[in-house]
Amino acid sequence: MASKRGRGGNAGNKFRMSLGLPVAATVNCADNTGAKNLYIISVKGIKGRLNRLPSACVGDMVMATVKKGKPDLRKKVLPAVIVRQRKPFRRKDGVYMYFEDNAGVIVNPKGEMKGSAITGPIGKECADLWPRIASAANAIDFVSDSVYPLRLHWKSVLLCISSEQNSKRQFLCVTLLFATWKTGSTTFRPTCIEENEILQSS
């Protein structure tokens, strides 16, 4: 079901996601405005239950104060857009995604960035909603169709590997899963190995 939260300057609606950043959460500032940490005090466009603290996810606009950064920015209430969250969320294709930190960028009420650059990747959901933020991002986290889900139980992994008839494919799958876990990449996305890649490596 699509979420119809009121946000000025965005390019449409988005589907419901896991809300990982409630009010009073502190996120990193991913732009070059001079702010370091943002403290969320409210979420724009929330119509929820009485006395329930609103929460935000990737692509939501929030009102935040600068807790750490340049003196001229500290203790000021500024609008910001969430670009990354650590809590896993499910996409429509069944893939669970998460980032290694919680981050946002400072914007104006129209959704235009105050800074000129963004450090690190941003979520596809944020890029679809906020074109000005997408144009300033150096990496947008798109996921192809050939991706293992994040919440894949280790027994399911062993079952899939044991069902493979080709021993080289088993070894490459295990190596790929271990390498992705060991490197601690931004998103857990070990891509599937195609048959031609296996034949070339043999």
Count structural domains, the chain: 1
- The answer to the question of residue 192 being in a domain is no
In a domain, 202, yes or no: no
- Give the tens place of pLDDT for each residue, 69-92: 999 999 999 999 999 999 999 888
pLDDT at 181: 54
Dist. CA 191–CA 147, nearest whole Å: 5
The answer as to whether 150 is a domain residue is no
Domain containing 120: what range?
A: 21-141
Look at residue 91 in the predicted model and tell me its pLDDT.
87
Is position 179 within any domain? no
CATH number of the domain bearing residue 88: 2.40.150.20
Does the residue 168 lie in any domain? no
Q: Taking the model in full, what pTM does it have?
A: 0.68
**Higher per-residue confidence, 61 vs 91:** 61
33-53 average pLDDT score: 94
What kind and span of H or E run contains 181? Answer: helix 167-183
Q: pLDDT tens digits for 153-184?
A: 444 455 555 555 556 555 655 665 555 554 55
Tokens 């947008």 locate to 140
Query: Is the residue at 201 inside a domain?
Result: no
Beta strand ranges found along the chain (DSSP E): 2-3, 14-15, 21-22, 26-29, 35-43, 55-56, 61-69, 77-84, 89-90, 96-97, 103-106, 122-123, 140-141
Q: Is residue 88 part of a domain?
A: yes
- The pLDDT assigned to 173 comes to 58
* Residue 190 lies inside a defined structural domain of this protein: no
